[in-house]
Amino acid sequence: MAEPAVSALDQVTRVASRDHAAAGLLDGQILRRGAISSVVFIYLGAILLGPLAAMGVELAHVGVLDALRSLLAPDALFALRTSLVLTTIAVVVNAVVGTLGAIAVVRQRFLGRALVNALADLPLAISPVMIGLAFILLFGREGWLSALVTATGIKVVFAWTGLLIATLFVTLPFTLREVAYVLEEIGTSEEEAAATLGAGPWQIFFRVTLPNIRFALGYGLLMTLARSLGEFGAVLVLGGSISGQTQTATTFIHAAIEERQTGSAYGMALLLALTSVLLLSSLEWAKRRKKVK
């Protein structure tokens, strides 16, 4: 009669040992997750929150209202207007070129398609400073296309045209890639069904393709907007940051710091930071809407 009692005791002991081991494993997982989270938060705090906090302290010293008031100066208003115009053109051009380019890369088969697909990512792989230098080598006074520039009378280097070219170049991949990913995911079944029912190419695009890619298109255009507003290297090298001529919002900050006009620099930086927060909120909203749909 003693053996069953001993067996039951052994079973209880084994169950308790397993529970203890499981609890220990769970505690270890919690510790590892906590350690990983701490490392991530510390890194993000040092890289992202640290500079923002430093700028906030300097803004407090300068005065937020004084910093924003400095943006009413003619040079600051010109730089802001230039950035807004460049951004607007970049968004419009990428809405058309990015969408058509994505359709061509995903839906069409043509000679050199793989090369075009690879070149679309080129702006992401090259430093913006190198992009500006490359355009100077093309359109500069002794550049490869200097004769064409002279014949047409269109100035590119240290001119507004150069700012536009640089901005369009660095923003090329964002809308195209976002739309291309969605086109690959949805396939062609709905478009083929519409064609079978007698719909024409434009009807298929506006009634089938466009509704399916609208969230990707909006997401890509928001990224394009953010990238064009924050562009610095290419427009600095190609435009020269000439006050009242080729200065953008970002190059205005650089020039203001160089000239010890900290109030103007911090005011423009605060405005761009607030715009970035608004754009980030819009991107997160677009992501949630896309998941819901």
Task: Render pLDDT for 230-271 as a digit per residue (tens, 0 to 9).
Answer: 899 999 999 988 988 999 999 999 999 888 888 888 889 888
Residues 36, 127 share a domain: no
Report the candidate in 214, 216, 145 with the shortest Cα–Cα distance to residue 178.
216
Same domain, 160 and 212: yes
Nearest C-alpha neighbor of 59 from the set 251, 255, 261, 267 = 267
Q: What is the largest CA-CA distance in the chain?
A: 111
Domain range for residue 8?
1-46
Residue 51 lies in a domain: no
Same domain? 88 vs 28 = no
Same domain, 103 and 12: no
Helix extents (H) in the chain: 2-44, 50-62, 64-69, 74-107, 113-119, 122-125, 128-139, 146-152, 160-186, 189-196, 201-204, 210-230, 233-239, 249-258, 262-292
Same domain flag for 37 and 182: no
Specify if 173 maps to a domain. Answer: yes
Residue 55 belongs to some domain of the structure:
no
Residue 172: pLDDT band (50, 70, 90) is very high
Instruction: Note whether residue 256 is domain-resident.
Output: yes
Extract the tokens encoding 228.
């064009």
CA pair distance 254, 293, nearest whole angstrom: 43
Would 220 be classed as within a structural domain?
Answer: yes
227 and 257 in a single domain? The answer is yes
Q: 67 and 39 in one domain?
A: no
Q: What percent of the chain has pLDDT over 90?
A: 34
The total number of structural domains in the chain stands at 2
pLDDT of residue 1: 46
138 and 277, same domain (yes or no): yes
Confidence check: pLDDT of 170 > 90: yes
**Are 38 and 70 in a shared domain?**
no
What is the full DSSP assignment across 83-139? HHHHHHHHHHHHHHHHHHHHHHHHH---TTHHHHHHHTTHHHHS-HHHHHHHHHHHH
Apex 140 CA angle, 138 and 145, nearest 5? 45
54 lies in some domain: no
Mean pLDDT of 171-179: 93
In a domain, 258, yes or no: yes
Q: How many CB atoms lie within 10 A of CB 56?
A: 14
pTM of the shown model:
0.81
Whether 104 is covered by a domain: the verdict is yes
Residue 26 shares a structural domain with residue 127: no
The answer to whether 107 touches 182, Cβ cutoff 8 Å, is no
CATH, residue 229: 1.10.3720.10
> Is residue 149's pLDDT more than 90?
no
21 dihedral zone (left: phi>0; alpha: psi -120 to 50; beta): alpha
Asked whether residue 247 falls in the same domain as residue 275, the answer is: yes
**What mean pLDDT is predicted for residues 38-49?**
79
- Residues 186, 188, 192, 195, Cα dihedral to 10°: 80
The answer on pLDDT for 80 being more than 90 is: yes
Q: With bands split at pLDDT 50, 70 and 90, how would you rate the model's confidence at 20?
A: low
Check: CB of residue 234 under 8 Å from CB of residue 129: yes
More confident residue, 130 or 111: 130
Residues 129 and 244 in one domain: yes
